[in-house]
Chains A and B, each alone.
Chain A
Amino acid sequence: MAHTTSRRSSRLRAAGILALTTSVVLAGCSTSGDAPSADGEIEPATITFAASTFGDPGLGPRLQELIDEYNQSQDVVTIEPAAVPFPTFGQTVLTQMGGGEGPDLVRFDMPEFTSAADAGLLEPLDDQIDADSLDLQPGPDEYMSVDDTRYGVIFDTSNYVMYYNTTLIPTPPTDFDEFMATAKATTQGDVFGLAFRQTQAEENGVWQDIFNYVYGFGGEWSDGEELTLNKPENIEGLEAYQSLYDADVIPKGADAATFRKMFAQDKVGMELNNGGYLVATRGTNPELQFSVAPIPFPVRAQGAIMAPLVINANSEHKDAALDFMNWVLEPQQQTSLQEALGASSVATVTERSEEQLAETPFLPVYDELTNSSKPQIVLGFGPQTADIRKIVVTEVISALQGQKSMQEAMDDAQAEAEQLVG
């Protein structure tokens, strides 16, 4: 590990210089907590890192390995996973941060990232990260700034693809009509052709799922300035979504945890899901025969779960947090992080290893989609995404339940949302 050690000390020195410069620059603004000593050494500290993925049975342990590697590679900073479970992740972390506390490092999802940045809870990173020297993937990276200030760096970004069971479906569909036909043909007995979330209890999940239909049919929720919830392309995409619901090709009433288990047991033929699902499925059933293909909708644009890594503005050990962030952005860690994540992409462009490609030949499918993926927020209305999401999902579900047509539902949503954002 000699070369790591020398790189480590040169990185420490670089970080130290950055920290020193930053502290001089910030001296006038006197923010809380960290003052590196004059020679640029980082104050020894134990800091917390909150990520909802720690609780994932497949991904969690791998992330823990990464952190252990960091902790073992030096003895100045120790990272501990913060104790925040996934079901209440956003509300817990945001309550803590709003109250002046919170974990030092957080892996957020996009709506919470924009809310937190908007509220001034995140440490600006323009002066801390040398963005130009890193080979950051432009697609996701453009969403890391709010109001022209960078607040985060991509930790992982997971593009949505179509997973399909190769035993049940030898040839994947390539357009929507084939998609519907395949779903219908596969649905027999206790096997379903497709699965997606459709209940209010999984509001966030429904929101994520319908993004693919909206983007995939050329629609969008806003043009950056105005809300366009009831755009014709959106309606087309959502009607496609509804047609699948009405065709009874999905296990209605099953929640995501259940139908994902079903997929792993050859009971569901296809599912639109993101890269993180690869590791999860392999973990549930290593014997499963499946592959992935791009989502067969008219437009090649899909949602992605973009997860920025941020530094808490309340943190008392920002230099330590920054050190970890820089460490993660190093090429060697980027590669091992991507390997740990499975099919997701990381901040920089990386190469897949031979073994990875041999084990999972369809990995390039994910990687090629990174720059055509869009985040799952309402662009230009990041902090209000949660509210808009509630309105849209409620209306979509009422259309699914037959209360009104999808057009009416989206018109109502548009009116309600416009009133909300003022």
Chain B
Amino acid sequence: MSADAAITARRRGRRKSPLGSRWTPYLFLLPAAAYIVLFQAIPLVQEAYLSFTRTNLLNPTRSTWIGLDNYVDIFTSSDFQQTLLTTLVYVLVCVIGAVGSGLVVALLLNSDFPGRGVARALVTVPWAAPGIATALIATWMLNAQYGIITQALRAIGIDVGASGILDNPQLALVAILATTIWQLFPFVAVVLLSALQSVPAELVEAAEMDGANRRWVFRVVTWQVIKPTVGLIALLMTIWSLRRFELIWLMTRGGPLGTTRTLVIDLYSQAFDSKQIGAAAAIGMVGILIALIVVVGSRFVQSAAERSTP
């Protein structure tokens, strides 16, 4: 029996033991929770500690305690303001773009038409493509001389400058955002499609037979069912946007002139270029703080929305 099959079997065995109802929740939770604690919580605590130290990547066990110095450096740096702003723009546009387009795509795909299965599978292609390949093909398509996108733009009269889009401080972020949304919308579409499929068809049919207008049906029936999922996806997308880095790193590395430098790019640079994993951990903590604010904020928005609904 392979290692992970053995682990799974052992864990399943634990769940089958017939204990009283008070313990059942914990039994259901225990394997997963233990797992998450070991692989995520422990490193998280370690990172929190590291953020108060000066530690070199090459000597990770030797740390010098420097208290809040890393954080002071971060918040007094003028570059950080640009990083923060870029991150905010990136997150907002990505989330709205991906969730919006994903929803539209999910709605389009939620009906019966010939080739539906194939269409749904093809839509996942951007998500399935490996990040390195996406970065390479995007960079090639945006190449200032030979890229197909640049040539197409030139053909309709738009000149993006001699250095191309990725080298243009005004346009580089736009290119990154477009590529990222292209990569992300299938995920949203897949999850929302599965949510749409759990909308009771009878309710929709009944409403339509009563002569109700499409938009009303959507607002009152469909939207109510998928709203929690949309909310969850939006939240996840937001949190994830704070740590997406592969495309940016490979396409522009935070340039030109820092216009695509997000929080996580800065973190990466600190950890692996400057080898300062203490400073990187501090940046990471700031990112987590921002994500926490988003999560708590969304809870408030959610309970406020619930209170206002009759």
- Bound together, the chains give a CA A365 to CA B310 distance in angstroms of 84
Q: Which of B88-96, B100-108, B214-222, B267-275 contacts A (4 or more CB under 8 A)?
A: B267-275
Whether the Cβ atoms of B255 and A252 lie closer than 8 Å is no
Evaluate contact between B257 and A401: CB separation under 8 angstroms: yes
Taking a contact as CB atoms under 8 Å apart, the answer to whether A120 and B252 are in contact is no
Instruction: Produce 1/0 per residue, B260-282, CB < 8 A to A.
Output: 00000000010111110000000
Q: In the complex, A403 Cα to B162 Cα: how many Å?
A: 17
Are A386 and B275 interface neighbours, CB within 8 A?
yes
Distance (Å) between the CB of B61 and the closest chain A CB?
9
- The answer to whether A253 and B256 touch (CB under 8 A), given A90-B272, A387-B274, is no
Binds A, one of B63-71, B116-124, B164-172: B164-172
Contact B59 A120 (CB under 8 A): yes
Judge if B192 is at the interface, Cβ distance under 8 Å. no
- In the bound complex, residues from chain A placing their C-beta under 8 Å from that of B254 are 200
Contact check, B58 vs A201: say whether CB atoms are below 8 A apart: no
- Asked whether, in the complex, the Cβ of A390 is within 8 Å of the Cβ of B274, the reply is yes
- Per-position binary interface string of chain B over residues 73-111, scored 1 when its CB falls under 8 Å from any chain A CB and 0 otherwise: 000000000000000000000000000000000000000
Assess whether B162 is in contact with A253, with CB atoms less than 8 Å apart. Answer: yes
Q: Which residues of B contact A120 (CB under 8 A)?
A: 59
Q: Is A286 located at the chain interface by the 8 A CB criterion?
A: no
Please indicate the chain A residues that have their CB under 8 angstroms from the CB of B191 in the complex.
none
Pick out which of these stretches binds chain A: B139-147, B224-232, B288-296: B139-147
One of A92-100, A161-169, A291-299 at the interface: A92-100
Question: Judging by beta carbons under 8 Å apart, are A199 and B252 in contact?
Answer: yes
With CB as the reference atom, state the residue of chain B lying closest to A259: B145
Contact A397 B257 (CB under 8 A): yes
Question: When the two chains form their complex, are residues B257 and A119 in contact, meaning their CB atoms are under 8 A apart?
Answer: no
Distance between Cα atoms of A106 and B81 in the complex (Å): 39
Chain A nearest CB, measured from B166 CB (Å)? 7
- Chain B residue total in the interface (Cβ 8 A): 33
How many interface residues does chain A have, given as a range? 35 or more
B 229-255 contacts with A by CB, 8 A? 250-255
Q: How far is the CA of A99 from the CA of B55 in the complex (A)?
A: 13
Residue of A nearest to B167 (CB): A253
Given the complex of chains A and B, what is the CA–CA distance between A205 and B88 in angstroms? 30
User: Is A201 touching B274 in the complex (CB atoms < 8 A)?
Assistant: no
A34: Cβ under 8 A from any B Cβ: no
Note all chain B residues with C-beta closer than 8 A to A203: 253, 255
Q: Which residues of A contact B269 (CB under 8 A)?
A: 390
Task: Judge whether B163 is part of the interface by a CB distance below 8 angstroms.
Answer: yes
Residue B174, interface by CB 8 Å = no
Binary B-proximity of A202-232 (CB < 8 A = 1, otherwise 0) = 1100000000000000000000000000000
Contact A252 B144 (CB under 8 A): yes
Taking the closest CB of chain A, its distance from the CB of B270, in whole angstroms, is: 10
Q: Is the beta-carbon distance between A98 and B143 smaller than 8 angstroms?
A: no
**How far, in whole Å, are A201 and B248 apart by their CA atoms in the complex?**
9
Known: A253-B144, A253-B164. A119 touches B56 (CB 8 A): yes
Please name all residues of chain A whose beta carbon is closer than 8 Å to the beta carbon of B132 when the two chains form the complex. Answer: 87
- Which residues of chain B are within 8 angstroms of A252 by Cβ–Cβ distance? 144, 162-164, 167
Residue of A nearest to B59 (CB): A119
Given A94-B275, A98-B57, A201-B166, A254:B145 Cβ within 8 A: yes
| A115 partner, pick from B144, B162, B167, B275, beta carbons under 8 A | B275
Interface check B60, CB cutoff 8 A:
yes
A199 near B275 with CB under 8 A, answer no
Query: B260 CB to closest chain A CB, in angstroms?
Result: 9
Q: Give the CA-CA distance A398 to B255 in the complex, in Å.
A: 10
From residue 385 to 411 of chain A, which have CB atoms closer than 8 A to chain B? Answer: 386-387, 389-390, 394, 397-398, 401, 403
Check A387/B273 contact, CB under 8 A, given A201-B255, A401-B169: yes
* Neighbouring A residues of B253 by C-beta, 8 Å: 200-203
Residue of A nearest to B62 (CB): A119
In this assembly, does A65 line the interface, its C-beta being within 8 Å of a C-beta of chain B?
no
A386 to B144, CA, bound (A): 29
**B 132-162 contacts with A by CB, 8 A:** 132, 139-140, 143-146, 162
Q: A201-B251, A201-B252, A386-B275 are in contact. Are A98 and B58 (CB under 8 A)?
A: yes
Q: Is A121 an interface residue (CB 8 A)?
A: yes
Q: Are A121's CB and B163's CB within 8 A?
A: no
Give the shortest distance, in Å, between B91 (CB) and chain A (any CB).
21
A199's partner among B56, B59, B146, B167 (CB-CB below 8 A) is B167
**Chain B residues near A87 (CB-CB < 8 A):** 132, 250
Complexed CA–CA distance, A387 and B56 (Å): 13
| Bound-complex Cα distance A90 to B169 (A) | 28
A251 to B58, CA, bound (A): 38
Contacts of A9 in B (CB 8 A): none
Question: How far is the CB of B259 from the nearest CB of chain A, in Å?
Answer: 9
Best-surrounded residue of B58, B146, B257, B274 (most CB of chain A within 10 A): B58
Measuring CB to CB, which residues of chain B are less than 8 angstroms from any residue of chain A? 56-60, 132, 139-140, 143-146, 162-164, 166-167, 169, 250-258, 269, 271-275
Q: A202-B253, A394-B255 are in contact. List 15 more A-B contacts (CB 8 A).
A: A87-B132, A198-B167, A200-B255, A200-B257, A201-B253, A203-B253, A203-B255, A252-B163, A252-B164, A253-B145, A253-B167, A258-B140, A386-B273, A387-B273, A401-B256
11 intermolecular pairs with C-beta atoms under 8 Å apart: A98-B56, A115-B275, A119-B56, A119-B59, A198-B163, A200-B255, A203-B255, A251-B145, A253-B144, A383-B275, A401-B256
Closest 4 CB pairs of A and B: A200-B255, A253-B164, A253-B144, A119-B58
